[in-house]
Each structure stands twice: as structure tokens, then as C-alpha cells.
Structure 1
């Protein structure tokens, strides 16, 4: 069963316990004294040469202890684990050490003079060489070939102002003028970038100010329109109420006239129906008398015929269906006057809308 991989924090704590308190480096051939303290074999030997005492607790030591095999195994295992974490995997952002031959390790720094990248081990050799002390070391760079002159194979250490490109020292032999170091060119260009950045920030500041002004104008205009919205709605609500009242007023005479006409028609119809019934009754009596074949009985009954002079003459009777619209005209005129008064209130509302639009135009014209 494979053991779980230790976390970076655990590895760091373990490394602290496996550090020699004399050289402050990871144990090399660790030895453990009788008092329980551990040191590098060489470090402890040098310390005991000046007195047989433990460097930490100062207890007397009878002899030099042997290498602690278990502790050495732990140290070797820790170093293997660290090297495993430093292996180059080709993941994005990783740069391989150019000096490693077998198993490539991840580069810790890149040298812009040597045009090579170094893992921690080879970087230590590079830093310890006196003639390489002045080399420029930066964070690992993936494409160092782009930092070399493809024509002469040398580092790009100079900058040609005329061609606005980086060149090597050998390119100077070809008559390049106005040449400065890449550091100076970098400083000048960086200063220009800072100026450009300042200008851009100023433009951003101005535009943010305009955004704030537009938002403030928008908020003010929205509040104004909100107030006008309710004013306009109040006007038209009043107009609707006026129209509804006028409608009720205009229809009331018609309702009353309709009731009167219906009643008059009903009364006339009832009278006519009564007389029709009476006339039909007389017709029935006439029919019965006409059917008599007994002359004597016919003549004796004839004087009993109901009087026909009692029937009303309906030729002069008229059904009045005339309508009077004078009240309606007065109602309409009053309605129009009230509506006109309410609509005049919209004039003042329109003036404030114009002012709101003018403020918005002022915001537009201030664009810079």
C-alpha cells in the first residue's frame, strides 16, 4: 500500500528537524551524541577537536559517535522527495534546467548573459563562480533564444534607437549609431510608459467624473419625470372623472324621458286594448243578431244594441315622442370647460420636461 504524500508544510517541519545546528544545513552523515543531539559527522568532529563537549548542552563526550544509519536514511528519503517535486513535467509556466543531462529539473532562475536556465543545484554553482557574479539573473524565461542575436549568436545587450530593436555587441561593427544599453533603453521606455499610464489614468478619471455627472443628471431627470408622471396621471384621472360625471348627467334626462315615454305608451295601449275589447264584444253581439232568422225576435232585439257613440275618437290622440337636447348641450359645454381647465395644467408640466432635456443636453456638450 502506497504511503500518502506529505504536504509542503509537513516537509518544511521535517526539514527543520533534519538541520544541523552547527552548519545550519541538512544533515550530511548525521551522528547522534550520547545526550541525544544530532549533527553532521564532520561538524561534530571539528567541534569536539576543541573540547569533548556537546555543542548544545555542553555535556562531556567520551568518544565520537558513529553515523546514525536510520537518520541518514530519513535524510536521503527527504532529499529524494524534494528532488521529485523539482522534476520538470512540462506543465504551463515551468522552464527546464539547461544543464541537467539525465532527469531535467525545474529551473529556478535564468541568466540573461549565459542565456541558460538553472535548477537550484546548478544555480548554486553559477552563483559561486566569481567571474559570473555580475550576470543578470531573472525569473525562469522559457524562450531564451529570443534574447540572443540569431546572426552572431550573442546576447542582446544593446538597443539601437535608429532601428528600434535590440542588438548584440558584434552588431556594433556594422555601423550602428545611437546605441544604448538595454537597461537604459528599458528605463527610458518604462518612464514613457509611466507617462502614458498617467495620461490614461487622467482620461479615466475625467470619464468617471462624466459618468457620475450623467448618473446624477439621470437620477434628477428620473425623479422629475416621476413627479410629472403622477401629475399627468392626476390630470387625466380628473378628466376621466369629469367625463364620467358628465356622462351620468347627460344620460339622466334620457333615462327620465324614456321612463315617461314608456309610461305614456303603456297608458295609451291599455286604453286602446280596453276599447278594442269593448268593440270586439259589440261585434260579437252584432254577429249573433245577424244570425237570427226569426224576424220578430230580430226586430225585438235590435233596439238593445249597445250605443256606438260612447267610443272615443282616437284620430286626435297623438303619442308624444319628442326629445329635448338643450340639457345635453349645456352638459357638454360645461364638460368641455372643465376638461380645458384640467388640460391647462399640462402646460406647466411640459415646461419642467423641457428644462430636464436642457440639463441633459448640457451634460452631452461637456464631453471631452
Structure 2
């Protein structure tokens, strides 16, 4: 990506030790909400991103606070990496008034404009045109903002994907379309859904530079996204990134994983876990010891438990709250 040149210094490249901490926060957050659901304390649905932490931290985690992300139904990692308050996320999941959406949105609709989180979406492929619109706004107002749009592999077969990429290309919008290819769109293997080897090849049809990377390697994700962001901020237009990864859990909380083998899951979890890979790298380069990592993990688990205990004491929305945030309060 020579277009970026020496502009990558504009990016807030995340330190690997800091990244490891955030990745563990994402994983333990999800383990905690899974426990809450199993205990009957969490209602509705949720889609876990366990196993995809590197795509969240290596993408959203390196953006400026003023930059925007658009997320999907599998959104927890993206939101945490962008800086959305974890306590508020727990509150949203538990339907509390202190939640990011005051308890009205639940897992799939977390948003936090204060940190550039434009929100998650339960509609497959809906984020593509939203991201294009946000990027157009940034371009027209000359705000120097960049938009990172997350989507799953299955979403690339939606019409919104092709329409948005075409607009982003002809207008040279400052947007990165980041496809988390976790091998399955719900229960369908990506190999059965497309007739190309790399989803990033679809960018060629619209004159957009495309890259397929190892989505479980933090350094690869960080490097590719940082160059794409610098390119977009420099007026170089959009980039399409396909990050190969794997979700350890099912599509949603009720998925019994009947469509993939236990051996396949075991291979990915044991040999390609993004957290384990980063830990091994840090230990091998003598940047941290195993004992320190385990202490970090224990500390985060304790922090999460304390947050949940605190959130459970928060008030819930009232019937009157149903009528708030329905219409814009100010004149448009």
C-alpha cells in the first residue's frame, strides 16, 4: 500500500501489551455475559466474537477518538476496542437505564457517539451504506475523519455491499470496509456461498484496493488498517480488507454448532487463538512473563465481576421511557 507512504505516523499504533489487555477485556466480557445468560439474568439474543479479538483491537483500537466505526450484530469487541464504557455495555445488556442506549437496544444496538461509535446493527449488510454516508459527511465537511466499517463475510453477498463500494469508489470516500471472514455466515460455509478464493478480490470491480490478511495476527491487522487509514485521511479513497478469523462460539446464543466438526473448532482454538498467539510472542520476546499475564487475566475477571455486581443495582427503564428518543427533539 505505497499510497500511504510515510503517513502512517498519523495513526495511534497500539502497544502490544496494551492490546493484550484490551483483548482479554473483550473475551472476559463475553464470558461474563454468557454466564449471565446461562443463569437466566440476561434476555434477548447475543452474538459472541470470542476468537476474533485481534480484528477488533487491531482495527477500531488504533483509530483516533474522532474517527468513526460502524459495527455489526457481533459487536462487543469493536465497541470495547473503540472505547465504549464497559460498565455501560453491561448495563445495556441487562436492560438498565444506565446502559449505552438506556436499556432499550440490548446487545445488537450498542452505540456511543462520544467515542466515535456510530452503532451496531442487527440487519446484515446495513452498515455499508451508513459508513459511506458518514464518510461522505467527513469528506464534505473536511473534518479529516475516517470511517471503519465492520461486516461479516456473509454480508458481502448483500446488495448494500456492492452499492456502497461503488459510491465509495466514485466519490473516493475516506472509508475502510473491514470484512471479518470467520468462515461461516450463520451456518453456511463461505466456500459454499461464493465462487472466489478471496473476498478482497471484489474490490477490483469497483477500483478499490483489496487485501486479505491473517485476522488472528494483531500485527498484520494493525499494519494493514493503519496504512488504509492513512491513505483515506490523505484523500486516497477507500480500501477493502478481508481478515481471516474464526468465531469459537456459535452464530448466536442458541446455535448448537451442528454444521462444523469438533476437530475443526479444536484446531482453530488450539493453534490459532489470537490471544494465545500474542501472549506467546510477548513471552518469547521477553516483554512479559507468563505469571504476569495470568495475574492480568485474574485482575480483569475481578473487575468485570465487580462491574456486574454494581450494574445489577441500577434502575430499570420505566414505562414512560418508552416514549423517549422516538422522535428528534430539535428541529432538523
TM-score range, shorter chain: under 0.3
TM-score scaled to structure 2, two decimals?
Answer: 0.18
Q: Tell me: higher relative CO, structure 1 or 2? Use CA pairs within 8 A at least 6 residues apart.
A: 2
The structure carrying a bigger helix percent of its residues is: 1
